[in-house]
């Protein structure tokens, strides 16, 4: 399905009015049914929907690997995804979206969700990347986002190694873009614990928790990082970098993984 | 509580490294309890929390007016908000977040949530605004957002009449900023059906549905609007404007409410 559509708009510029066709980003509701029960409706860009479903299930801790998915089908026209899971835990279902009210889950107090505190991983990765590679990958990433240039309405993210971009996804939602990336990596059996993640959107606690659950050791954004995401990065030993633009960046945590040009 | 904090970061620029203090935006988990039951955890900027709770309850269709709130208290330190509601419907609770799978709710097929299709209103407002007022208000709005300039991490929105800005809020989430605005209007008894709404963030279906539930007739963004939000604007007779920057804007729907300079 198309991720953007032409619609007739009225463009105003000073005292000029013009009716013309302009490209706007499509927003598509996808309702996920797990074992025949309606689970959630995601608002997303209508592409890579299977990857989105797999990534969403992994991010929410509902699956650990691809083998748990016995069946997965998407009805694009209706906007329905049907998943059959083995070992689907009603425990997970009941705790979905619920906060840790009690503390003491073993990972400090920066987590607000009991499942997250149990499933996010401390990164052990000894992976390193040079400063020049970061600058080069950031540039390549910025050049890859075509829908954004076209409509101004989507976020993108990509998975890289030092050589280049391995997986790239766009979506109207930052979270969906990352879930699509995670879903593709899981379905293709691509390891995540020795890769870096680039995202156009702000890094919030939810974004870094999502990445940490998949053991991604380095997370880089063109935008800001929140204070809570920095605390979580410290606790989970994730390298967190923001405002990576041109030949600048802000390193919020884990600079031991970055090899600087002047060292 | 502070909405931003200074943290020590490593700033990299070409081959220079510098350790310095930089301001980052605070992300704060607020868990809302309704009638002693945990309902949801919002990730937000820690200010105007009572307005946020009231606006959230109104946006989700859980209250119609301020009178239904028998008690509201916020424990800032713990991040808990306790609300006692009269007439809290378990019907609403059960449908929370659920999609309309059946159609025919009387408002076409653009709605994906049964509660939204029942509670979003067709705007009757005969309100008009001049093109010059829009350009002036947009400029005033852009100048008002201080936290964004400081940290690059928040969205802002404001409620205006033709004279100027009446309510202004910022938050790390677009939705929260709008909920704070709606909450303040409800608590102060400010009518919304003859006002316009300005927002820094993208207008998605959820944003326009939120505004329509409060009968706001004109919605203007500095950013893009999605195709689904345009369809909903058409169905609900809402004036929808995007990319309002400088002396330009894109009118997606309802230009009958805009008085142009050359007419």
Choosing from B44, B105, B158, B160, the catalytic residue is: B105
Chain B residues with CB under 8 Å of A5 CB are: 227
Q: How many degrees, rounded to 5, is the angle at CA B2 between CA B1 and CA B3?
A: 115
- A53 and A169 fall within a common domain: no
- Find the CB nearest B205 among A15, A43, A224: A43
Closest Cβ–Cβ partner in A4, A10, A230 for B24: A230
pLDDT tops 60 at residue B161 = yes
8 Å CB contact of B260 and A15? yes
For chain A, give the number of residues: 263
Confidence at B15, pLDDT banded by 50, 70, 90: confident
- Residue among A56, A55, A88, A52 nearest A70 (CA): A88
**Per DSSP, which regions of A138-194 are E strands?**
155-160, 165-171
- Mind listing the pLDDT tens digit for each residue in B97-106? 554 443 333 4
Residues in chain B: 263
What is the arithmetic mean of pLDDT over B163-168?
96
Q: Which of A44, A105, A157, A158 is an active site residue?
A: A105
Residue B124, in any domain of the structure: no
Active site residue A105: yes
Contact yes or no for A24 and B226 at CB 8 A: yes
Q: Is residue A144 in a domain?
A: yes
| pTM, to two decimals | 0.90
Q: How many angstroms separate the CA of residue A65 from the nearest CA in chain B?
A: 27
Predicted pLDDT at B106: 40
Residue B68 sits in the same domain as residue B152: no
DSSP B104: -
SS3 B232: helix
- Residue A119 resides in a domain: no
Q: Which residues of A touch B260 (CB under 8 A)?
A: 12, 15, 17
Q: How many domains does chain A have?
A: 2
pLDDT tens-digit series, residues A115-174:
676 667 777 767 899 999 999 999 999 888 766 666 677 899 999 999 999 999 999 998
Find all residues with CB under 8 Å of A222, minimum gap 6, and list them: A138, A142, A198, A199, A200, A243, A244, A245
Same domain flag for B207 and B104: no
Specify if B142 maps to a domain.
yes
Which one of A97, A113, A139 terminates a domain? A97
Cα–Cα distance measured from residue A32 to residue A81, given in angstroms and rounded to the nearest whole number: 5
> Which positions ≥6 away from A20 have C-beta within 8 Å?
A8, A9, A11
Flag if B153 and A224 touch (Cβ within 8 Å): yes
Cross-chain residue pair B204–A27, CB shorter than 8 Å: yes
Q: Is residue B3 part of a domain?
A: no
Residue B213 is part of a domain; what is its CATH number?
Answer: 3.40.140.10
The alpha carbon dihedral of A228, A241, B176, A59 has a sign of negative
**Beta carbons within 8 Å of B205's beta carbon, 6+ residues apart:** A27, A29, A43, B110, B112, B226, B228, B229, B232
CB contact under 8 A, B9 and A248: no
What pLDDT score does A234 carry? 94
Cβ neighbours of residue B67 closer than 8 Å, sequence gap 6 or more: B86
| Other residues' Cβ atoms within 10 Å of the Cβ of residue A40 | 16
Which chain B residues are within 8 Å of A247, Cβ to Cβ?
Answer: 13-14
In this structure, the answer to whether residues A77 and A137 fall within a common structural domain is: no
A45, closest residue in chain B (CA to CA): B226
The range of the structural domain enclosing residue A152 comes to 129-259
Residues of A in contact with B249 (CB under 8 A): 11-12
């Amino acid at each position: 399905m198309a991720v953007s559509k032409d619609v007739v708009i009225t463009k105003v510029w000073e005292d000029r009015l013009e009716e013309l066709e302009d490209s706007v980003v499509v927003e598509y509701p996808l309702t996920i049914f797990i074992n025949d029960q309606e689970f959630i409706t995601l608002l997303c860009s209508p592409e890579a929907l299977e990857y989105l479903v797999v990534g969403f299930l992994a991010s929410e801790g509902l699956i650990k690997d691809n083998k748990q998915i016995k069946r997965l089908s998407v009805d694009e026209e209706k906007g329905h995804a049907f998943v059959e899971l083995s070992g689907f835990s009603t425990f997970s279902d009941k705790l979905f979206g619920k906060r840790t009210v009690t503390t003491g889950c073993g990972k400090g107090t920066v987590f607000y969700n009991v499942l997250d505190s149990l499933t996010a991983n401390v990164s052990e990765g000894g992976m390193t990347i040079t400063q020049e590679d970061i600058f080069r990958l950031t540039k390549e990433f910025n050049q890859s986002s075509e829908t954004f240039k076209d409509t101004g309405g989507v976020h993108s993210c990509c998975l890289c190694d030092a050589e280049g971009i391995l997986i790239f996804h766009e979506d109207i939602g930052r979270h969906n873009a990352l879930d699509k990336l995670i879903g593709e990596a899981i379905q293709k059996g691509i390891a995540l614990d020795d890769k870096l993640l680039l995202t156009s959107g702000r890094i919030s606690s939810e974004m870094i928790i999502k990445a940490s659950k998949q053991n991604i050791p380095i997370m880089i954004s063109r935008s800001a990082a929140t204070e809570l995401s920095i605390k979580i990065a410290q606790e989970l030993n994730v390298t967190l970098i923001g405002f990576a633009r041109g030949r600048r960046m802000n390193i919020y945590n884990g600079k031991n993984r970055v090899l600087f040009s002047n060292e």
